[in-house]
Amino acid sequence: MPRKTALFERTADLMTSVAWKEWAGYAAPCNFDAYSEREYFAIRHSAGLLDLSPLAKYMVTGADAARYLARIWTRDITRLKPGRVAYGCMCDGEGKLLDDGTVACLDPETFRVTSSEAWLGWFERHSRGYQVEIEDCTDRLAALALQGPLSREILQAVTEVDLDAMRFFGVAAGSIAGVNGWISRTGYTGDLGYEIWIACEDALTVYDALLVAGKPHHLEPIGLDALDVARIEAGFVMQGVDYISAQHCLIEARKSTPEDAGLGWTVNLERAGWIGREALVQEQEQGPKWGLVGLELDWAEIEALHEEYGLPPHLSPLACRNAVPVYSEGGANEKPVGQATSSSWSPTLKRYLVLAQVHRKYAALGTRLSVEYTVEFERRTITGTVVERPFFDPERKTFTPKAAPKGAS
Protein backbone atom coordinates (compact mmCIF):
# COMPACT_ATOMS: atom_id res chain seq x y z
CA MET A 1 0.00 0.00 0.00
CA PRO A 2 1.51 3.34 -0.97
CA ARG A 3 2.57 5.65 1.86
CA LYS A 4 1.62 9.29 2.23
CA THR A 5 4.14 12.07 1.80
CA ALA A 6 4.26 15.04 4.16
CA LEU A 7 2.12 16.97 1.67
CA PHE A 8 -0.54 14.36 1.19
CA GLU A 9 -3.30 16.22 3.06
CA ARG A 10 -2.77 19.31 0.92
CA THR A 11 -2.39 17.64 -2.47
CA ALA A 12 -5.37 15.39 -1.73
CA ASP A 13 -7.40 18.47 -0.90
CA LEU A 14 -6.39 20.35 -4.06
CA MET A 15 -7.01 17.39 -6.29
CA THR A 16 -10.39 16.98 -7.97
CA SER A 17 -9.39 14.02 -10.14
CA VAL A 18 -8.49 11.46 -7.41
CA ALA A 19 -5.83 10.21 -9.80
CA TRP A 20 -3.01 8.71 -7.75
CA LYS A 21 -0.21 6.49 -8.79
CA GLU A 22 2.49 4.71 -6.86
CA TRP A 23 5.91 6.33 -7.04
CA ALA A 24 8.73 4.59 -5.17
CA GLY A 25 6.30 3.34 -2.53
CA TYR A 26 4.47 6.65 -2.07
CA ALA A 27 1.14 7.87 -3.42
CA ALA A 28 1.77 10.62 -5.96
CA PRO A 29 -0.75 12.69 -7.93
CA CYS A 30 -0.98 11.97 -11.68
CA ASN A 31 -2.94 15.14 -12.22
CA PHE A 32 -5.13 17.47 -10.22
CA ASP A 33 -7.81 18.00 -12.83
CA ALA A 34 -9.59 15.89 -15.42
CA TYR A 35 -6.69 16.44 -17.82
CA SER A 36 -3.11 17.38 -17.23
CA GLU A 37 -2.94 20.03 -19.97
CA ARG A 38 -3.46 23.00 -17.67
CA GLU A 39 -0.63 21.75 -15.48
CA TYR A 40 1.60 21.22 -18.49
CA PHE A 41 1.02 24.76 -19.76
CA ALA A 42 1.71 26.11 -16.28
CA ILE A 43 5.18 24.52 -16.48
CA ARG A 44 5.89 26.17 -19.82
CA HIS A 45 4.17 29.54 -19.32
CA SER A 46 3.98 30.21 -15.59
CA ALA A 47 5.17 27.68 -13.05
CA GLY A 48 4.19 24.28 -11.68
CA LEU A 49 4.67 22.98 -8.16
CA LEU A 50 5.34 19.26 -7.69
CA ASP A 51 5.75 17.17 -4.55
CA LEU A 52 9.07 15.47 -5.19
CA SER A 53 9.32 13.79 -1.80
CA PRO A 54 9.28 10.15 -3.03
CA LEU A 55 12.65 10.72 -4.68
CA ALA A 56 15.29 8.60 -2.91
CA LYS A 57 17.58 10.93 -0.97
CA TYR A 58 20.81 10.22 0.90
CA MET A 59 23.17 12.28 2.99
CA VAL A 60 26.77 11.20 2.53
CA THR A 61 29.16 12.75 5.03
CA GLY A 62 32.72 12.25 6.20
CA ALA A 63 36.33 12.94 5.34
CA ASP A 64 36.21 10.52 2.38
CA ALA A 65 32.71 11.43 1.19
CA ALA A 66 33.85 12.97 -2.09
CA ARG A 67 36.33 10.18 -2.85
CA TYR A 68 33.69 7.60 -2.04
CA LEU A 69 31.07 9.20 -4.27
CA ALA A 70 33.62 9.49 -7.05
CA ARG A 71 33.99 5.71 -6.73
CA ILE A 72 30.31 4.79 -7.05
CA TRP A 73 29.22 7.67 -9.31
CA THR A 74 30.34 8.19 -12.90
CA ARG A 75 31.16 11.85 -12.27
CA ASP A 76 34.34 12.97 -10.52
CA ILE A 77 32.74 14.21 -7.31
CA THR A 78 36.15 15.13 -5.86
CA ARG A 79 36.07 18.10 -8.24
CA LEU A 80 32.55 19.16 -7.33
CA LYS A 81 32.70 22.46 -5.44
CA PRO A 82 30.49 23.41 -2.50
CA GLY A 83 27.30 24.99 -3.81
CA ARG A 84 27.28 22.91 -6.98
CA VAL A 85 25.23 19.94 -8.13
CA ALA A 86 26.31 17.24 -10.60
CA TYR A 87 23.99 15.01 -12.57
CA GLY A 88 25.39 11.56 -13.24
CA CYS A 89 24.73 7.88 -13.09
CA MET A 90 25.77 4.75 -11.28
CA CYS A 91 26.95 1.48 -12.86
CA ASP A 92 27.46 -2.06 -11.63
CA GLY A 93 30.82 -3.84 -11.94
CA GLU A 94 30.05 -4.73 -15.57
CA GLY A 95 29.46 -1.09 -16.48
CA LYS A 96 25.70 -1.52 -16.74
CA LEU A 97 23.47 1.30 -15.60
CA LEU A 98 21.86 0.99 -12.20
CA ASP A 99 20.33 4.42 -11.79
CA ASP A 100 20.84 8.10 -12.45
CA GLY A 101 20.47 11.13 -10.23
CA THR A 102 22.17 14.14 -8.74
CA VAL A 103 24.91 14.74 -6.19
CA ALA A 104 24.84 18.11 -4.43
CA CYS A 105 27.95 19.31 -2.63
CA LEU A 106 26.70 21.13 0.48
CA ASP A 107 30.15 21.44 2.00
CA PRO A 108 33.41 19.62 1.28
CA GLU A 109 32.41 16.73 3.55
CA THR A 110 28.63 16.75 3.09
CA PHE A 111 26.80 15.61 0.00
CA ARG A 112 23.17 14.95 -0.83
CA VAL A 113 22.56 12.21 -3.36
CA THR A 114 19.26 11.62 -5.13
CA SER A 115 18.28 8.62 -7.19
CA SER A 116 15.07 7.22 -8.58
CA GLU A 117 15.07 4.22 -6.30
CA ALA A 118 16.54 3.05 -3.02
CA TRP A 119 20.23 2.15 -3.03
CA LEU A 120 21.28 2.14 0.61
CA GLY A 121 22.41 -1.50 0.42
CA TRP A 122 24.55 -0.82 -2.63
CA PHE A 123 25.95 2.37 -1.11
CA GLU A 124 26.91 0.63 2.12
CA ARG A 125 28.35 -2.44 0.43
CA HIS A 126 30.86 -0.29 -1.43
CA SER A 127 31.72 2.06 1.41
CA ARG A 128 34.23 -0.32 3.00
CA GLY A 129 37.60 1.35 3.36
CA TYR A 130 36.17 4.88 3.26
CA GLN A 131 35.60 7.17 6.19
CA VAL A 132 32.03 7.93 5.35
CA GLU A 133 28.52 7.91 6.85
CA ILE A 134 25.51 7.25 4.68
CA GLU A 135 22.02 8.19 5.81
CA ASP A 136 18.85 7.43 3.91
CA CYS A 137 16.95 10.69 4.44
CA THR A 138 14.09 9.95 2.04
CA ASP A 139 11.58 9.84 4.89
CA ARG A 140 12.74 12.88 6.79
CA LEU A 141 13.45 15.23 3.92
CA ALA A 142 10.64 16.57 1.74
CA ALA A 143 11.38 17.94 -1.71
CA LEU A 144 9.42 20.30 -3.94
CA ALA A 145 9.97 21.10 -7.58
CA LEU A 146 9.01 24.59 -8.70
CA GLN A 147 9.44 24.65 -12.45
CA GLY A 148 8.61 27.18 -15.15
CA PRO A 149 9.54 30.60 -16.53
CA LEU A 150 8.06 32.43 -13.51
CA SER A 151 9.49 30.12 -10.88
CA ARG A 152 12.28 32.55 -10.00
CA GLU A 153 9.91 35.41 -9.21
CA ILE A 154 7.59 33.19 -7.19
CA LEU A 155 10.35 31.59 -5.16
CA GLN A 156 12.19 34.89 -4.63
CA ALA A 157 9.06 36.22 -2.93
CA VAL A 158 9.45 33.70 -0.11
CA THR A 159 13.22 33.34 0.23
CA GLU A 160 16.22 35.48 1.02
CA VAL A 161 18.52 33.35 -1.15
CA ASP A 162 19.58 35.54 -4.08
CA LEU A 163 18.10 33.58 -6.95
CA ASP A 164 19.23 36.06 -9.58
CA ALA A 165 22.79 35.07 -8.73
CA MET A 166 22.20 31.32 -8.53
CA ARG A 167 23.59 29.57 -11.56
CA PHE A 168 22.19 26.51 -13.30
CA PHE A 169 23.03 23.47 -11.14
CA GLY A 170 23.81 25.67 -8.14
CA VAL A 171 22.64 24.87 -4.62
CA ALA A 172 22.39 27.13 -1.56
CA ALA A 173 21.12 26.95 1.99
CA GLY A 174 18.71 29.57 3.24
CA SER A 175 15.38 30.43 4.75
CA ILE A 176 12.34 29.62 2.64
CA ALA A 177 9.00 30.88 3.96
CA GLY A 178 10.66 31.21 7.34
CA VAL A 179 12.05 27.69 7.55
CA ASN A 180 15.59 26.53 6.90
CA GLY A 181 16.23 24.47 3.83
CA TRP A 182 18.15 24.20 0.61
CA ILE A 183 17.35 25.46 -2.86
CA SER A 184 18.95 23.98 -5.94
CA ARG A 185 18.54 25.20 -9.50
CA THR A 186 17.79 21.77 -10.88
CA GLY A 187 14.78 20.03 -12.33
CA TYR A 188 13.28 17.47 -14.66
CA THR A 189 11.48 19.79 -17.07
CA GLY A 190 14.31 21.35 -19.09
CA ASP A 191 13.00 24.76 -18.07
CA LEU A 192 13.96 27.44 -15.58
CA GLY A 193 13.22 25.81 -12.26
CA TYR A 194 14.21 25.06 -8.70
CA GLU A 195 14.07 22.19 -6.29
CA ILE A 196 13.51 22.89 -2.62
CA TRP A 197 14.74 20.57 0.14
CA ILE A 198 13.16 20.93 3.57
CA ALA A 199 12.36 18.84 6.63
CA CYS A 200 9.04 16.98 6.33
CA GLU A 201 7.49 18.89 9.22
CA ASP A 202 8.11 22.17 7.35
CA ALA A 203 6.88 20.93 4.00
CA LEU A 204 3.28 22.21 4.30
CA THR A 205 4.41 25.67 5.38
CA VAL A 206 6.63 26.04 2.33
CA TYR A 207 4.12 24.47 -0.07
CA ASP A 208 1.34 26.78 1.12
CA ALA A 209 3.58 29.86 1.02
CA LEU A 210 4.54 29.06 -2.57
CA LEU A 211 0.90 28.58 -3.58
CA VAL A 212 0.09 32.00 -2.11
CA ALA A 213 3.13 33.68 -3.71
CA GLY A 214 2.36 31.96 -6.99
CA LYS A 215 -1.32 32.87 -7.14
CA PRO A 216 -0.87 36.16 -9.07
CA HIS A 217 1.40 34.26 -11.47
CA HIS A 218 -1.08 31.42 -12.08
CA LEU A 219 1.10 28.84 -10.37
CA GLU A 220 -0.48 25.37 -10.56
CA PRO A 221 0.11 22.31 -8.43
CA ILE A 222 1.19 19.69 -10.94
CA GLY A 223 1.27 15.92 -11.09
CA LEU A 224 3.40 13.34 -12.81
CA ASP A 225 1.49 13.28 -16.11
CA ALA A 226 2.39 16.88 -17.00
CA LEU A 227 5.93 16.32 -15.80
CA ASP A 228 6.30 13.32 -18.09
CA VAL A 229 5.46 15.38 -21.20
CA ALA A 230 7.86 18.12 -20.10
CA ARG A 231 10.74 15.72 -19.46
CA ILE A 232 10.35 14.14 -22.90
CA GLU A 233 10.49 17.62 -24.47
CA ALA A 234 13.64 18.16 -22.45
CA GLY A 235 15.00 14.85 -23.75
CA PHE A 236 15.60 13.37 -20.28
CA VAL A 237 15.68 9.60 -19.90
CA MET A 238 13.79 7.90 -17.10
CA GLN A 239 15.03 4.85 -15.23
CA GLY A 240 12.58 1.97 -15.68
CA VAL A 241 11.21 3.49 -18.90
CA ASP A 242 14.02 4.50 -21.25
CA TYR A 243 16.49 2.11 -19.67
CA ILE A 244 16.06 -0.67 -17.15
CA SER A 245 18.27 -0.72 -14.08
CA ALA A 246 20.69 -3.65 -14.37
CA GLN A 247 19.44 -4.97 -11.05
CA HIS A 248 15.92 -5.42 -12.45
CA CYS A 249 16.90 -6.93 -15.79
CA LEU A 250 16.04 -10.57 -16.24
CA ILE A 251 18.25 -10.99 -19.28
CA GLU A 252 21.63 -9.54 -20.12
CA ALA A 253 20.39 -7.96 -23.35
CA ARG A 254 18.04 -5.63 -21.48
CA LYS A 255 20.88 -4.00 -19.54
CA SER A 256 22.25 -0.70 -20.79
CA THR A 257 25.57 1.04 -20.46
CA PRO A 258 25.59 4.84 -20.00
CA GLU A 259 26.40 5.17 -23.73
CA ASP A 260 23.41 2.99 -24.63
CA ALA A 261 21.08 5.25 -22.65
CA GLY A 262 22.45 8.56 -23.88
CA LEU A 263 24.33 9.22 -20.65
CA GLY A 264 27.80 8.73 -22.12
CA TRP A 265 28.52 12.41 -21.43
CA THR A 266 28.44 11.74 -17.67
CA VAL A 267 31.29 9.27 -18.02
CA ASN A 268 34.99 10.03 -18.07
CA LEU A 269 36.92 6.90 -18.98
CA GLU A 270 40.24 8.66 -18.40
CA ARG A 271 39.48 8.87 -14.70
CA ALA A 272 40.37 5.67 -12.81
CA GLY A 273 38.80 3.99 -9.83
CA TRP A 274 35.05 4.19 -10.37
CA ILE A 275 32.81 1.17 -10.46
CA GLY A 276 32.17 -0.05 -13.99
CA ARG A 277 35.02 1.82 -15.67
CA GLU A 278 37.09 -1.22 -16.73
CA ALA A 279 34.11 -2.78 -18.48
CA LEU A 280 33.22 0.50 -20.18
CA VAL A 281 36.79 0.99 -21.41
CA GLN A 282 36.40 -2.38 -23.12
CA GLU A 283 33.01 -1.33 -24.50
CA GLN A 284 34.58 1.76 -25.97
CA GLU A 285 37.32 -0.27 -27.61
CA GLN A 286 34.73 -2.48 -29.27
CA GLY A 287 32.47 0.49 -29.99
CA PRO A 288 29.18 0.97 -28.13
CA LYS A 289 26.27 -1.03 -29.48
CA TRP A 290 23.33 1.25 -28.82
CA GLY A 291 22.57 4.90 -28.73
CA LEU A 292 19.71 6.96 -27.38
CA VAL A 293 18.18 9.22 -29.98
CA GLY A 294 15.42 11.76 -30.23
CA LEU A 295 13.04 11.09 -33.11
CA GLU A 296 10.41 13.33 -34.59
CA LEU A 297 7.48 11.50 -36.18
CA ASP A 298 6.24 12.72 -39.53
CA TRP A 299 2.97 14.53 -38.79
CA ALA A 300 1.71 14.33 -42.36
CA GLU A 301 2.09 10.56 -42.26
CA ILE A 302 0.18 10.36 -38.98
CA GLU A 303 -2.67 12.38 -40.54
CA ALA A 304 -2.64 10.25 -43.68
CA LEU A 305 -2.66 7.04 -41.66
CA HIS A 306 -5.71 8.12 -39.66
CA GLU A 307 -7.33 9.24 -42.88
CA GLU A 308 -7.17 5.64 -44.13
CA TYR A 309 -9.48 4.70 -41.26
CA GLY A 310 -11.67 7.71 -41.74
CA LEU A 311 -10.51 9.16 -38.44
CA PRO A 312 -9.10 12.54 -37.42
CA PRO A 313 -5.61 12.23 -35.90
CA HIS A 314 -5.93 11.52 -32.21
CA LEU A 315 -3.54 13.17 -29.78
CA SER A 316 -3.34 12.04 -26.19
CA PRO A 317 -2.41 14.66 -23.60
CA LEU A 318 -0.42 11.90 -21.91
CA ALA A 319 3.05 10.69 -22.73
CA CYS A 320 3.28 7.11 -23.86
CA ARG A 321 5.64 4.80 -21.96
CA ASN A 322 4.92 1.58 -23.79
CA ALA A 323 8.00 0.60 -25.73
CA VAL A 324 7.34 -0.14 -29.41
CA PRO A 325 9.69 -1.50 -32.08
CA VAL A 326 11.73 0.74 -34.35
CA TYR A 327 12.66 -0.54 -37.82
CA SER A 328 15.07 0.72 -40.40
CA GLU A 329 13.34 3.00 -42.92
CA GLY A 330 10.65 1.27 -44.92
CA GLY A 331 8.25 -0.18 -42.36
CA ALA A 332 7.74 -3.29 -40.26
CA ASN A 333 9.10 -5.63 -42.93
CA GLU A 334 12.51 -4.04 -42.53
CA LYS A 335 15.18 -4.87 -40.01
CA PRO A 336 14.30 -4.16 -36.34
CA VAL A 337 16.91 -1.69 -35.09
CA GLY A 338 15.71 -0.74 -31.63
CA GLN A 339 12.80 0.39 -29.53
CA ALA A 340 10.98 3.64 -28.92
CA THR A 341 10.71 3.86 -25.13
CA SER A 342 8.92 7.17 -24.50
CA SER A 343 6.85 9.32 -26.80
CA SER A 344 4.60 12.32 -26.55
CA TRP A 345 2.95 15.04 -28.53
CA SER A 346 4.65 18.28 -27.59
CA PRO A 347 1.98 20.97 -27.13
CA THR A 348 4.65 23.68 -27.10
CA LEU A 349 6.67 22.54 -30.10
CA LYS A 350 3.71 21.08 -32.01
CA ARG A 351 5.85 18.07 -32.87
CA TYR A 352 5.46 14.40 -32.10
CA LEU A 353 8.53 13.42 -30.06
CA VAL A 354 10.03 10.02 -29.39
CA LEU A 355 12.95 8.83 -27.28
CA ALA A 356 14.37 5.62 -28.72
CA GLN A 357 17.26 3.26 -28.15
CA VAL A 358 18.64 2.20 -31.53
CA HIS A 359 21.71 0.46 -32.92
CA ARG A 360 24.65 2.84 -33.16
CA LYS A 361 24.58 2.62 -36.93
CA TYR A 362 21.16 4.26 -37.01
CA ALA A 363 21.83 6.98 -34.46
CA ALA A 364 23.21 9.69 -36.73
CA LEU A 365 21.29 12.95 -37.03
CA GLY A 366 18.92 12.90 -39.99
CA THR A 367 18.62 9.09 -40.12
CA ARG A 368 15.11 8.09 -41.13
CA LEU A 369 13.57 5.16 -39.24
CA SER A 370 10.14 3.52 -38.98
CA VAL A 371 8.40 3.58 -35.63
CA GLU A 372 5.48 1.29 -34.86
CA TYR A 373 2.23 3.22 -34.55
CA THR A 374 -1.11 1.62 -33.75
CA VAL A 375 -4.41 2.87 -35.11
CA GLU A 376 -7.58 1.01 -34.27
CA PHE A 377 -5.65 -2.03 -33.04
CA GLU A 378 -3.71 -2.32 -36.29
CA ARG A 379 0.03 -2.03 -36.11
CA ARG A 380 1.48 0.30 -38.73
CA THR A 381 4.62 2.42 -38.87
CA ILE A 382 5.35 6.13 -39.13
CA THR A 383 8.61 7.60 -40.36
CA GLY A 384 10.70 9.13 -37.59
CA THR A 385 13.77 11.25 -38.20
CA VAL A 386 16.67 11.48 -35.78
CA VAL A 387 16.77 15.08 -34.54
CA GLU A 388 18.73 17.06 -31.95
CA ARG A 389 18.07 16.36 -28.31
CA PRO A 390 16.91 18.20 -26.15
CA PHE A 391 13.89 18.96 -28.30
CA PHE A 392 13.00 21.94 -26.14
CA ASP A 393 15.84 24.01 -24.76
CA PRO A 394 14.90 27.58 -23.83
CA GLU A 395 17.57 30.13 -23.05
CA ARG A 396 15.95 30.84 -19.67
CA LYS A 397 16.88 27.33 -18.51
CA THR A 398 20.50 28.34 -17.98
CA PHE A 399 20.37 32.17 -18.04
CA THR A 400 21.47 33.82 -14.82
CA PRO A 401 20.60 37.52 -14.47
CA LYS A 402 23.42 38.30 -12.05
CA ALA A 403 25.94 35.81 -13.35
CA ALA A 404 29.37 36.08 -11.78
CA PRO A 405 32.13 36.81 -14.29
CA LYS A 406 33.54 33.70 -15.97
CA GLY A 407 36.17 31.91 -13.94
CA ALA A 408 34.63 32.74 -10.56
CA SER A 409 32.73 29.90 -8.97
- Smaller CB separation from other proteins, 245 or 344: 245
CB of 71 to other proteins, least distance (A): 6
C-alpha 301/C-alpha 384 separation (Å) is: 10
- Smaller CB separation from other proteins, 120 or 304: 120
Q: Is 308 helix (H, G, I), strand (E, B) or coil?
A: helix
- Smaller CB separation from other proteins, 33 or 76: 76
For the CA atoms of 214, 22, 323, 296, the dihedral, rounded to the nearest 10 degrees, stands at 0
- Smaller CB separation from other proteins, 127 or 138: 127
Is 5 in contact with 26 (CB distance < 8 Å)? yes
Q: Is 264 helix (H, G, I), strand (E, B) or coil?
A: helix
Give the up-direction half-sphere exposure of residue 263: CA atoms within 13 A in the CB hemisphere. 28
- Smaller CB separation from other proteins, 68 or 352: 68
CB of 274 to other proteins, least distance (A): 8
CB of 129 to other proteins, least distance (A): 4
The H-assigned helical ranges of 91-223 are: 120-125, 151-156, 203-214
Give residues with Cβ within 8 angstroms of 61, minimum separation 6. Answer: 109, 110, 111, 132, 133, 135
Terminal-to-terminal C-alpha distance of the chain: 45
Is 151 in contact with 192 (CB distance < 8 Å)? yes
Residue 187 burial by Cβ neighbours in a 10 Å radius (0-12, 13-18, 19+)? buried
CB of 125 to other proteins, least distance (A): 7
- Smaller CB separation from other proteins, 95 or 187: 95
Binding site for other proteins (CB under 8 A): 67, 71, 92-93, 125-126, 128-130, 272-275, 278
CB of 103 to other proteins, least distance (A): 17
CB of 75 to other proteins, least distance (A): 15
CB of 93 to other proteins, least distance (A): 4
CB of 275 to other proteins, least distance (A): 6
Give residues with Cβ within 8 angstroms of 39, minimum separation 6. Answer: 31, 32, 33, 48, 220, 221, 222, 223, 225, 226
Long-range contacts of 9-13 (CB under 8 A, 24+ apart): 9/204, 10/204, 10/207, 10/208, 11/51, 11/221
- Smaller CB separation from other proteins, 160 or 270: 270
For residue 254, which of 241, 263, 266 has the smallest C-alpha distance? 241
CB of 107 to other proteins, least distance (A): 23
- Smaller CB separation from other proteins, 179 or 279: 279
- Smaller CB separation from other proteins, 281 or 404: 281
DSSP 323-372: -EEEEETT-TTS-EEEEEEEEEEETTTTEEEEEEEEEGGG-STT-EEEEE
